[in-house]
Each structure stands twice: as C-alpha cells, then as structure tokens.
Amino acid sequence: MRTSTTIRAALLSGMLALAGCGAPTVPDFTYFRLPRPQPLEVAPAPAFAEPLVVDAFGADGLYADQALIYALDPDAQQLRQYHYQLWTDPPTRVLQRRLIALLRESKIAAQVTDELPASTPAVRIRGIILRFDRVPAAAGGWTAVVALKLRADGRDARPIVDDYYRAEQAAAGNDIKSTVDAYGAALDRIYTRFHADLHRRGDAGHG
C-alpha cells in the first residue's frame, strides 16, 4: 500500500512539473511617457488678463482607456488595443497636463491651471481626443495620427477658439517607442497651432 501511494505521489509530481514547464509566460506590462515637448514661443506680455483653466480632455470609447491603440490597416478602419503596452496615465490626463505646462511656460496668461472655482472669471479650455492611433503606413513602418477638438471660452462663455486640429508624424522605427516619440512631435505641432490661434484672438482685455 505504501509503495502504491509513493508511486502515485511521484507520478503526480512529475505531471505537475511537466504542466509547469509548458505554461506560457505572461509578458510584462510596459508603460510609456511622451517625450519632452518643444517649447512654445514666449509672449512678451500676457495675451489674457484672466487665468486660463485647462480641463481634463474628453474621449469616447477606446481613447478613454490607458492602452495604446493601433490600426490594422492604413485607413485605420479597424482598431485594436495593445494588451501590455500602456500609457502611464490615460491620454485624457496626459494631453491636459502637457498643454498646461506648455501654456504656463509661454506666459500667455499670468496663471494657467487645471482648476478654479466656476465663479472665478477665466478663459476655460476644453479638448476632445478624436484620434490617437498608431497606423501602419502603406509603404511600411508606422505613423502616429493625432486629431483633437480644442475650444477656449471667454468669461462670457463665448468661444475665442473652437476648431479641429490634426497632425501626422512618421515614426523613425518600427518599435513602439519610436511611435510614442512621433506622437509627441504631432502633438507639438497641434499645440503650436492652438497657441497661435489663442494669441491671434486674445488680448489683455479679452475674456
């Protein structure tokens, strides 16, 4: 009896060892940050007397999640999420914080923040993420495609800027890090255009 029990235990241990050897390895999660932005042109004087408030960006569906998104075709009609390739924070926060930092450094207003009481007179900026895709190029390689709707309302709630912005940037390589760098370059071009629109339509007494 004891020998039979010993044999069964040995067989069970061997089966468990074999099962363990055949188990697939789960990939590690990789988190990505955007590269440092290109600074905006510094204004000689603030374009707005009121503070600027930049709200968290809005996004629907896939773009509200933390996973990086890639297209299966050059027309980006089919999209998927990476399972283990993630942004450090949701893009709705990443893009908001990047814009706040750039506007502060440009000195477009004496104060640029993400929160003020609703009763405080301010220029309020909202953004919506429409595209934030890693798209395969027809000739090979990858392209970062970014499309945003950006709106700035004065203290009277009338729009100062209300427009759509889109930029594409080819990645330098096929790895995801190269595409993340391309996202940064595309965003730099969009924010430069938005900053110019704010300057053109704002002045020290506008709000």
Largest CA distance in the chain: 96
Which ranges of the chain have pLDDT less than 70? 1-24, 26, 203-207
CA distances from 80 to 108, 149, 167, 187, 204 (A): 38, 22, 21, 21, 45
Confidence at residue 91, expressed as pLDDT on a 0 to 100 scale = 96
Spell out the domains of the chain, with CATH numbers in brackets. 28-201 (3.40.50.10610)
Partners of residue 146 on adjacent β-strands: 132, 167
> What would the pLDDT profile of 105-122 be if each residue is shown by its tens digit?
999 999 999 988 888 889
- How far apart are alpha carbons 140 and 163 in whole angstroms? 32
- How far apart are alpha carbons 95 and 86 in whole angstroms? 15
Confidence at residue 28, expressed as pLDDT on a 0 to 100 scale = 86
